[in-house]
Amino acid sequence: MLTWLKSHLPGGGLTAFISHSSCLQHNMGVGHPECPERLVAIRDQLKASQIFDSLNEVEAPAVSEQQLARIHPPHYVEYIESCAPSVGTFRVDPDTAMNPGTLPAALHAAGAVVKAVEMVMGGEAPNAFCAIRPPGHHAESAKAMGFCFFNNIAVGVAHALSQYRLERVAVIDFDVHHGNGTEEIFKDDPRVLMVSTFQHPFYPYCGDVPMGDNMLNVPLKAGSSGREFREAVEYQWLPRLHEFKPQLIFISAGFDAHREDDMGSLGLVEADYEWVTRQLMMIAAQYSEGRIVSALEGGYDLSALARSVTAHVKVLSDG
């Protein structure tokens, strides 16, 4: 039955893999961990694992001004546009720089999540993974930081709420760094539930005190392993998600909590990402008609990142 459904849905009912070549042109300098090779490694591993051919590859459009303006005020967008250099790099903070390829990449990264929402809500795909950079979850409504310029997930959430009149949308964030931007944008919005785990104390040095009742933040101590992560999901996330009954699930999919990633000090492995994806698939099946939009955030050890994304996407594509 599942095979028949997949073959008769638009796009074959395949998981959408949404990206854009401009995301490879954003470069913050030699040796910077948020590098173009991240996307190359992901694609190569998906192909080597014979998963890529079972995905529906889609080219991301650029986000529109209207879609961006739901999250970022015009003066902030104009500021980012004004910072875009024609040559060299411009630093918006000590960690976050723009080169001539950054602005197109950022516009297509946000556009990818909007496209994912439209495909999933329109029945063109059961779920979607956005292989994009720059990441987005540290970007606040009017502040770029932590390698992020526009909050890709937030732009997608706002599009879903506005265009599809959804009443309950969940954002799941398992990056090693707290998604402070997403929290700042949606604090006290009863239509959005954000659940997250992250290392604490650690950059961006917040999240331990939630900004709103719709935020379920679970800080993890340095050295925590998959066991502590799974306990947080099982005993804190899942009951709250069942209570909330989301109509659409977004995942800020950061893979820098992997034990091989030296950007953090948590001990997750591929099996943990596979497990949490399965838990979220079950929530989506129960309340969201299976609809999940996942977007890449962190993950800086190329091998660990590629293997972890492959584990995540395999679960999404297996249905």
Are 25 and 105 in contact by the 8 Å Cβ rule? The answer is yes
Q: Residue type at 306?
A: A
Is 108 considered catalytic here? no
The arrangement of strands across the sheet holding 127-130 comes to 56-59, 16-19, 127-130, 292-296, 248-253, 169-173, 192-199, 215-220
Token digits of residue 98: 């723009």
- The residues, ordered by sequence, that sit 6+ positions from 54 with a Cβ below 8 Å of its Cβ are 14, 15, 317
Domain containing residue 92: CATH number? 3.40.800.20
> Of the residues 72, 138, 159, 312, which is catalytic?
138
3-state secondary structure of 244: helix
- Encoded tokens for 54: 């079972």
In order along its 319 residues, the chain shows pLDDT tens digits of 334 344 444 444 999 999 999 999 999 999 999 999 999 999 999 999 999 999 999 999 999 999 999 999 999 999 999 999 999 999 999 999 999 999 999 999 999 999 999 999 999 999 999 999 999 999 999 999 999 999 999 999 999 999 999 999 999 999 999 999 999 999 999 999 999 999 999 999 999 999 999 999 999 999 999 999 999 999 999 999 999 999 999 999 999 999 999 999 999 999 999 999 999 999 999 999 999 999 999 999 999 999 999 999 999 999 7
Six-digit token string for 243: 């209570």
Cβ neighbours for 131, distance < 8 A, ≥ 6 positions apart: 17, 18, 19, 23, 39, 42, 43, 296, 309
Q: Give backbone dihedrals phi and psi of 175, rounded to 5 degrees, phi first.
A: -60, 155
CA distance 224 to 52: 32
With residue 93 as reference, give the H or E element that holds it: strand 90-93
Q: Identify whether the C-beta of residue 91 lies closer than 8 Å to the C-beta of residue 147.
A: no
Query: CA geometry: angle at 130 spanning 125 and 132, to 5°?
Result: 160
Report how many domains make up the chain: 1
Containing structural domain, residue 240: 2-318
The length of the chain in residues reads 319
- Decide: 316 and 292 in contact? Cβ < 8 Å: yes
- Residue owning tokens 């390829």: 101
